Amino acid sequence: MVIPMKVVQTRLNSIEYEMLRKYAEAKGLTITEALREIIRKAVMEEEIDKNDPIFVEGPAAKRTGQVDRTSEEHDKVLYGDRD
């Protein structure tokens, strides 16, 4: 199956372009390939279940006044209650 391609244009400032060029070079990609990879990653990140406790649990930091039991109950968070 051939998927039709669409042309997308944008303008980048010199810093953004250099960041993109270095990213592509480091991964051995063309700029076009790098942009496609970046777009796919950004879209996929938004597909994370926002109600999944592993992603919504607050940070474990001292002096927040927040009770955090994730370190004690991480198996329950990851695998559900198995009692």
Q: How far apart are CA 39 and CA 3, in angstroms?
A: 17
CA 33 remoteness from chain centre = 18
Looking from the CA of 54 toward its CB, the CA atoms found within 13 Å total: 9
What is the reported pLDDT for 21? 96
* Phi and psi angles of residue 50, each rounded to the nearest 5 degrees, phi first: -70, -15
What is the reported pLDDT for 79? 72
Asked if residue 39 has pLDDT above 70, the reply is yes
Per the prediction, the chain carries an average pLDDT of 79
CA 18 remoteness from chain centre = 21
pTM flag (> 0.85): no
Q: How far apart are CA 3 and CA 16, in angstroms?
A: 29
